[in-house]
């Protein structure tokens, strides 16, 4: 009779951690940061229908990276939890900390009890009446929870994005400046040109939303269209290229614009 294969609990947990980290790293990055009037969410997301950033409750937002089907289930469960607690008790009892604790318990139990861990990393953010009351909780696949004081970076090339934000971020940024900082940070971890400078992500690849402190009751708002265009940073023109001249074709006329082609990902990592 053959003996069953044995693996120590430590090895099993290490294998699960490696599996989850690889799945999360294949997703596109998300940045959550504080600005003067609330909390800003900026995600690299070419899809216009599959959102990585959403509202959970009146003053609580949610952002996630990893396998879309898994963090979408977590998002819906969080909405149900918040609605029930707010209805049975009081809306003031629904806080970002209570929601983060529930998510941490769920992620931790799945990580230790199930064969396959969830390939997700999420952020629960709550805007307060005062800047010092704002909270951002980062939750990993194993249920670990961290209270981040300034910004959260998840998914993709998180190390490169974090390095860029360390140089760019300052407290008390205006909204437009905060969007510029977040986009430059995401671009640093996403693409680069041949001369080593990062290509700035365009509007079609971005999902942007805010929790605004001064909005009545429901603080969550998406920023799209012309409002987002006005906030996006632009590439400065090169020294040897005039900024006002349009590119020309071989016949001397203006060149026809080309369309960017966004290829779908190989799996449902978002």
List, for residues 32-89, the tens digit of each pLDDT value: 999 999 999 999 999 989 999 999 999 999 999 999 999 999 999 999 999 999 999 9
Type and span of the H or E element at 42: strand 38-44
Sheet holding 38-44, edge to edge: 151-154, 30-35, 38-44, 206-212, 220-223
Tens of pLDDT, residue by residue, the chain (270 residues): 565 677 888 899 999 999 999 999 998 999 999 999 999 999 999 998 999 999 999 999 999 999 999 999 999 999 999 999 999 999 999 999 999 999 999 999 999 999 999 999 999 999 999 999 999 999 999 999 999 999 999 998 889 999 999 999 999 999 999 999 999 999 987 754 444 566 788 889 999 999 999 998 899 999 999 999 999 886 544 444 444 444 444 444 444 444 444 444 445 677
Give the residue extent of every domain in the chain.
10-229
CB environment 17-46: b (16+ within 10 A), e (fewer): eeebeebbbbbbbbbbbbbebbbbbbbbbb
Q: How many other CB atoms are there within 10 angstroms of residue 50's CB atom?
A: 12
Q: Identify whether the C-beta of residue 175 lies closer than 8 Å to the C-beta of residue 35.
A: yes
Scan for tokens 């026809």, then name that residue. Answer: 256
Q: What CATH number belongs to 10-229?
A: 3.60.20.10
- Give the contacts of 159 (CB within 8 A, at least 6 positions apart): 189
Q: How many other CB atoms are there within 10 angstroms of residue 243's CB atom?
A: 9
Q: Identify whether the C-beta of residue 185 lies closer than 8 Å to the C-beta of residue 161.
A: yes
CB environment 198-231: b (16+ within 10 A), e (fewer): bebbeeebbbbbbbbbebeeebbebbeeeebeeb
Joined together, the tokens standing for residue 173 give 């940024």
């Amino acid at each position: 009779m053959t003996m069953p294969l044995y693996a120590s609990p430590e090895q099993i947990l290490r294998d699960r951690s490696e599996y989850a980290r690889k799945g999360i790293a294949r997703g596109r990055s998300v940045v959550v940061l504080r600005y003067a009037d609330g909390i800003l969410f900026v995600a690299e997301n070419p899809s216009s229908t599959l959102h990585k950033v959403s509202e959970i409750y009146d003053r609580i937002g949610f952002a996630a990276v990893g396998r879309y089907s898994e963090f979408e289930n977590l998002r819906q469960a969080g909405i149900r939890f918040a609605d029930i607690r707010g209805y049975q008790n009081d809306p003031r009892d629904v806080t970002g900390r209570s929601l983060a604790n529930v998510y941490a318990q769920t992620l931790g139990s799945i990580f230790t009890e199930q064969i396959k861990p969830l390939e997700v990393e999420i952020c629960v953010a709550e805007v307060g009446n005062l800047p010092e009351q704002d909270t951002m909780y980062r939750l990993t696949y194993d249920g670990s929870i961290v209270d981040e004081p300034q910004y959260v970076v998840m998914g993709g090339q998180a190390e490169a994005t974090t390095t860029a934000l360390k140089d760019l971020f300052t407290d008390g940024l205006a909204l437009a400046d905060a969007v510029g900082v977040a986009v430059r940070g995401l671009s640093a971890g996403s693409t680069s040109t041949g001369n080593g400078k990062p290509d700035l992500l365009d509007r079609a690849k971005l999902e942007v939303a805010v929790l605004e402190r001064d909005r009545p009751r429901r603080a969550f708002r998406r920023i799209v269209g012309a409002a987002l265009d006005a906030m996006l940073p632009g590439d400065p023109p090169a020294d040897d290229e005039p900024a006002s001249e349009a590119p020309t074709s071989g016949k001397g006329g203006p060149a026809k614009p080309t369309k960017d082609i966004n290829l779908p990902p190989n799996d449902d990592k978002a």
